[in-house]
Chain A
Amino acid sequence: MTATKPILLAEDNPRDAELALAAMEEYHLADKVILCHDGAEVLDYLYCRGQFKTRLHGNPAVVFLDLKMPKIDGLEVLRTIKSDETLKPIPVVMLTSSREERDLAESYALGANAYVVKPVEFHQFLKAVKELGIFWGVINEPPPEVPGRHKS
């Protein structure tokens, strides 16, 4: 069951996205990744609306959230997810450049499941993304589906 669940990656920077996908590719996880370019797209995906209107229903295995994104930023998306009963169980991992205490504190206060600072060094970045992908996408058992209002 876990193998079929997608990994949602919210990353506005195409280079970061490419690097992340390159990392995922190492473990053949890349085809499971759904890339969103801003916070609004993430919410569209989660609520099956806009370009994701026709997608298969069901929550992703994990959401990797960047903090700084256009339109709706990471913290806002996190707040929305964690205040929605249906979305709440989705594990959310903050994947960001910021090591600021403020961001850390706020993310955890809003209910983030993990907080990972993107390492500058590519090999470490690779390692981090790979491990995250393996852990959240393969090892971790996601919460069972709860019927919600946006489900048919």
Chain B
Amino acid sequence: MQDLQREHAPPSETRGGVPHTRGEDRSGSRRSFAERLVVAFQRWSIERRVLVGFGLVFAGILVISAVSYRNMTVLFRNTHQDQRSHELIELLVGMGTRMDEAEIGHRRYLVTGDESYLKGFHILDERIPDYIRYARELTRDIPEQRQHVDLLNQLMQKQLEAERAAITLRGRTGFEGVRDIALTGVAKAELEEFHRIQAQMEHDENRSIYGRGIQSAAITRNTIGLLSVGAFLLFVLLASVYYLIRHDITERRRVAAELERRGELLEAANKELEAFSYSVSHDLRAPLRHIDGYASLLEKSAQQLLDDKSKRYLQTISESATRMGQLIDDLLVFSRMGRQEMLRSAVNLDQLVKSVLHDLRHDMQDRNISWSIGALPEVKGDPAMLRQVFSNLIGNAVKFTNTRPLATIEIGSDQSSPAETVIFVRDNGVGFDMQYAGKLFGVFQRLHRANEFEGTGIGLANVRRIIHRHGGRTWAESELGRGATFFFSLPTKMEST
């Protein structure tokens, strides 16, 4: 959805901007504000845009839901109140009718003395409390109507009392005593007042009903409008979700295809590399062998003819060829180290170090070395590769301490971190300047002149490559002339390539 907005916003900007040459100041400032908004929006990350977009839509839907809920409540209340109004009107009409019946009935009785005409009167007498209670309940929330009800109550009581008095009088004096009353009726004014108030109340209720009707209609229209907007927002939301999901799926497919393609390329590159190093291994060595071989043969066959200088030249040719052979071998080992399948087995470093020391014993002849080897842990990794690591590090320590009358070499571990095991090899040899520490682990990088210490400079590159393949790190600390310490770490959980 964010992308949709982003795609759609700029055209509407230009469309809005170009034709409005008049009133430029207004549209200009608006445009720049909108532009600023678009720019700010585009500066956001996709996640933020999605979040903000969805947030806005959700907020809109929430507001619409709240307003609609309130509207529905008002509608319900109005309906309920309308019902009460209708009930009240009906009740008032009923009360009026009863009043009239009672009045007419009692007058007939006054004239005829027939007590059956008093039925209306008795019913009214009996029902007044009910009527009033009901009316009070219906007008509970409307104070004016409630006052009217009280007034009606008084009027009805007065009327009833007057009629009762007249009936009693008729019983005592006969028709003659109530003749005037029978003709004119008692409490005529009260009855009229009653009808007036009753009409007033009916009118009020009808007006309320009408008012509420108008309100309900407005609210209904309002709600329909809001729900339409809500439906639109929901549609936008759904469309965006659909778009995002589809976009995501397309992207995933694309990435998967890309990965597959790259995997194939990588595989092809690896195969080529393998063929390359195979060829190097086979074909590059032969001419070197010939150079050295023929130089030696020449030296031998022309021994009498050659002076010392020429012999030295031949010697140098041989040495160079041999050295190049060594470099090629080292490079091949290094290259193989990166491609070779890696084993993951438990490796007992104590034993590994012991066997490496055994292998190096020839290099340590005539050397005075004090060894301090701490307890080493068992780690997970490729035994042959880790052996190469120790062989290189310990070999270096032995090599770079050969100027010391007493060499001290310490091998130990630090297992204080739960995530990794750190192993170190420390010597008191010539050390190196820390400013070259970054170069130390590079291929064919040497910090010493060839005539100082032998070697091709591949050892530490191999160490780094092996440790990286195990998911660990390599680093070194030293002070020139005061020995060096080489560290490497192995993660306790293996999950490397």
Contacts and interface: CB of A to CB of B under 8 A. Distances in A.
Is chain B a partner of chain A in the same complex?
yes
Interface of A: 13, 15-16, 19, 22, 67-68, 96-101, 118-123, 125-126
Which of A98, A99, A122 gathers most chain B CB within 10 Å? Answer: A122
Nearest to A19: B293
B383 interface: no
A120 B285 CA distance: 7
Contact of B282 (A22, A67, A125): A67
Interface string B263-307: 000000000000000100111011011101111110000000000
A13 B289 CA distance: 12
Given A13-B286, A16-B289, A118-B285, A22 B297 contact: yes
A44 to B, nearest CB: 24
B286 A16 contact: yes
B282 A19 contact: no
A15 B281 contact: no
A124 to B, nearest CB: 9
Given A16-B286, A97-B286, A121 B278 contact: no
Nearest to A101: B336
A16 to B, nearest CB: 7
B332 A121 contact: no
A126 B295 CA distance: 13
A100 B278 contact: yes
A96 B288 CA distance: 14
A27 to B, nearest CB: 15
A67 B278 CA distance: 12
B285 A15 contact: no
B296 A68 contact: no
A46 B283 CA distance: 28
Which of B293, B321, B325, B326 gathers most chain A CB within 10 Å? Answer: B293
Contacts of A125: 289, 292-293
Contacts of B318: 121-122
16 contacts: A15-B286, A19-B293, A67-B282, A68-B282, A97-B282, A97-B283, A97-B285, A99-B281, A118-B285, A120-B288, A120-B324, A120-B325, A120-B326, A122-B296, A122-B318, A123-B296
B329 interface: yes
B322 interface: yes
Nearest to B284: A97
Contacts of B285: 97, 118, 120
Nearest to A121: B322
A99 B332 contact: yes
Given A13-B286, A97-B286, A120 B297 contact: no
B205 to A, nearest CB: 104
Given A121-B322, A121-B325, A122-B318, A16 B290 contact: yes
Which of B281, B288, B295, B318 gathers most chain A CB within 10 Å? Answer: B281
Contact of B281 (A100, A119, A126): A100
A102 B378 CA distance: 30
Contacts of B322: 120-121
Interface in B313-328: 318, 321-322, 324-326
B282 A122 contact: no
Nearest to B288: A120
Counting from the closest, the 5 A-B pairs by CB-CB distance are A120-B325, A122-B296, A122-B293, A19-B293, A122-B292
Contacts of B295: 122
A15 B295 CA distance: 12
B462 to A, nearest CB: 16
A12 B321 CA distance: 22
B332 A120 contact: no
Given A120-B288, A121-B322, A121-B325, A97 B293 contact: no
Contacts of B282: 67-68, 96-98
A100 B289 CA distance: 18
Given A121-B292, A122-B289, A122-B296, A98 B278 contact: yes
A38 to B, nearest CB: 16
A130 to B, nearest CB: 14
Which of B285, B289, B318 gathers most chain A CB within 10 Å? Answer: B289
Contacts of B286: 13, 15-16, 97
Contacts of A120: 285, 288-289, 292, 321-322, 324-326
A101 B274 CA distance: 12
Given A16-B286, A122-B318, 12 more contacts: A15-B293, A19-B290, A19-B297, A22-B293, A97-B282, A97-B286, A101-B336, A118-B285, A120-B322, A122-B289, A122-B296, A126-B296
A16 B282 CA distance: 13
A15 B318 CA distance: 16
